[in-house]
Amino acid sequence: MQRGINLQMARFLVRRLFSIFISIIGATLVIFILTRLGPDPIDLYLGDAQVDVTEEYIAMLRAELGLDKSLPEQYARWVWNIAQLDMGYSIGTQRAVKDIIAIHIGTTLKLAAGAWIFAVTVGVSVGVLAAVKRATIWDYLGRIFALFGQATPQFWTGVMAILIFAVILGWFPAGTLGRQEGFFFKWDNLQHWILPWIVLGWPAAAGIMRLTRSSMLEILDSEYIKLARAKGVAPQKIIWKHGLRNALIPPLTSSLVLLADYLNGALVIEIIFSLPGIGTVALNQAVYDNDWPLLAGTVFCFIGIYVSFAFLADVLYAVIDPRIRYG
């Protein structure tokens, strides 16, 4: 029996790994094609100085960048370099792309982790409360919380949060990270993150709340819960041991993909609160400056993060719910 379960899990993992491999190959093809559809990389590298260089220098630079090869050879070389974490050098700063990403990804990781913790904690708590207190004021307040969270644009929420809690009330800083010295969780450092975490996490908390509420209501109306009530099991035990344990499967597995979304999609929040994260780098330095090595590196980084967390979510779902392994 155990051997059969292990074989099913192995087959499931092989299928998922193969799909990830195909996804990454497709993503690299799209990125490579898009970078080659733009201006000549040599023109971007030289900029206004190209009028002062010789044809021999341009030919040498083209050979150094591998642009004198055929497109398949260029693609193969680029993929090989990416596999070795060699993403090239930024056109604007002439620094290694991987070094630029390494400097700024810490801010994005802190922003995404804090928002994820807020979203999961608040979303699950409010969802359980709304399900247990169905058709009461708590249920209606929870649904209003979810409605505003999903209907309000994040840029508007961020601006209003700064206006109310930073400018008018003065409870939190308006933006930037300050000096960030010493222990991260001391208030002088933490206060700069509170508003960004809440603004980024609110829409996801609303979605998790709806998902938890619907799952919890379905579980509470199931036959084995009715049987437990008939046998006189304590309501708290029914809710926390039998109800929540099964209702958490959808929100917890989807929360891993949610974390990947935060790592990839925190651009708006980083701009509003002036946070020097990887999203700001991708927009301000890569897109505005036509810095295609930096743009390709950051996009590939986003894709790698998303695919990795999606794979972890699939594995976690398969471990929690064995029926998934047969899919």
- Please give the structure tokens belonging to residue 216: 């919890």
31 vs 176, more confident: 31
Amino acid type, 135: A
- Please give the structure tokens belonging to residue 255: 């929360």
Read off the pLDDT of each residue in 239-248 and give the average, rounded to a whole number.
74
| Of the candidate ranges 68-77, 160-169, 243-252, the one whose mean pLDDT is the lowest | 243-252
- Please give the structure tokens belonging to residue 169: 């009330």
Q: Does domain 98-326 have CATH number 1.10.3720.10?
A: yes
pLDDT per position as a tens digit, 52-108: 667 777 777 777 667 777 778 888 888 888 878 787 777 777 788 888 888 888 888
Q: Record the pTM.
A: 0.75
pLDDT per position as a tens digit, 273-323: 888 888 777 667 777 767 777 878 888 887 887 787 777 777 777 666 655
Report the pLDDT value the prediction gives residue 122, as an integer from 0 to 100: 92
101 neighbors 278 (Cβ within 8 angstroms): yes
Distances (CA, A) of 89 to 40, 130, 133, 144, 300: 16, 52, 57, 48, 15
266 neighbors 112 (Cβ within 8 angstroms): yes
Please give the Cα distance from 49 to 9 (Å, whole number).
Answer: 58
pLDDT class for 212, splitting at 50, 70, 90? confident
Strand locations in the chain (E): none
131 neighbors 238 (Cβ within 8 angstroms): no
Of all helices (H) and strands (E), which one includes residue 304? Answer: helix 292-320
Of 4-18, 28-42, 209-223, the range with the highest mean pLDDT is 209-223
Report the pLDDT value the prediction gives residue 235, as an integer from 0 to 100: 76
178 vs 318, more confident: 318
The structural domains of the chain, with segments of one domain joined by +, span 17-83, 98-326
Amino acid type, 151: A
Please state the length of the chain.
327
- 1 has a pLDDT exceeding 60: no
Q: Which residue has the tokens 């709304």?
A: 130
